[in-house]
Amino acid sequence: MAIGYVVLASVVSTWPRSSLDVAVATVVQRATPLDPALRAASAFGGWIWSVLAIAALFAARARREAITLSASMLGAVAIEHATKLVFSRPRPTAPLLIIREPVTGPGFPSGHVLDYVALFGLLAVFAAVRARIRAVRVCAITAAVVLVVLVGPSRVYLGAHWPSDVLAAYLAGGAWLVLVARFYLLRRAEAA
């Protein structure tokens, strides 16, 4: 995943506006029957959701999980901001795409997608390990996966990002999630 991210970053720095990005984004933006679902999928972006999840974990006396989630989110923000500083890739503009959600600042990688992978991906790991009731475990993991899967297309549909911004965020977020989850699982095993 990390290698894929580096390769994609070098391609994007060479060709900041590719015809493939425009073609894929145009197809995604035609998914107007899915408008409510795609708009809703982006609703959980922003720091407030991370803070609420961390606070809920502390309140549930899941201290290790709260600290791990804090580290995960801080790492995701660092990856996002460092990459945006390095590449400063412009976001999509009209008339190339329909801009349903005007956003400013560099677009590579998608911060929403990176944050969703770091937040909901890790919450799914916690549910897999800690939820004792199978139905709760399955529902929590399913909800997390659905949000992570839908947020990427939603960012393209809304005109906030190019498809390659989204793919880069999935790759970087996935690599980061694997590292954080492995660390969490090792520490949990050591404590048992």
Task: Tell me if 21 is assigned to some domain.
Answer: no
Question: Does 165 reside within a domain?
Answer: yes
The structure tokens 């899941």 sit at 62
**Regions of the chain where pLDDT drops below 70:** 16, 192
The answer to the question of residue 75 being in a domain is yes
- pLDDT in the model for residue 47: 86
pLDDT score recorded for residue 71: 96
In a domain, 17, yes or no: no
Q: How many CB atoms lie within 10 A of CB 2?
A: 13
Residue 182 lies in a domain: yes
- The domain of 162 spans 2-11+37-191
Q: Provide the pLDDT for residue 74.
A: 96
Q: Is residue 121 in some structural domain? A: yes
How many Å apart are CA 91 and CA 16, to the nearest integer? 10
125, amino acid identity: V
Q: What is the pLDDT of residue 88?
A: 86
Measuring CA to CA, which residue among 14, 21, 19 is closest to residue 165?
A: 21
Can you give the pLDDT at residue 89?
87
Rounded CA gap, 98 and 156, in Å?
Answer: 10
The dihedrals phi and psi of 13, each to the nearest 5 degrees, come to: -70, -30
Q: Please give the pLDDT value at position 189.
A: 87
Q: Which of 63, 171, 34 is nearest to 126 (CA)?
A: 63
For the whole model, what pTM was predicted? Answer: 0.91
Does the residue 20 lie in any domain?
A: no
What are the start-end ranges of the H helices in the chain?
2-14, 19-29, 35-41, 47-59, 63-87, 111-130, 134-157, 163-191
**pLDDT digit string (tens) for 34-43?**
888 888 888 8
d(CA 119, CA 128) in angstroms, rounded, equals: 14
Q: Looking at the 3D structure of the chain, how many domains does it have?
A: 1
**140: CB partners within 8 A, 6+ apart:** 123, 124, 127, 131
Instruction: Write a three-state SS string for 73-114.
Output: HHHHHHHHHHHHHHHCCCCCCCCCCCCCCCCCCCCCCCHHHH
Q: Is the CB of residue 148 less than 8 Å from the CB of residue 121?
A: yes
Determine the angle formed by the axes of helices 63-87 and 47-59, rounding to 10 degrees: 160
Is position 19 within any domain?
no
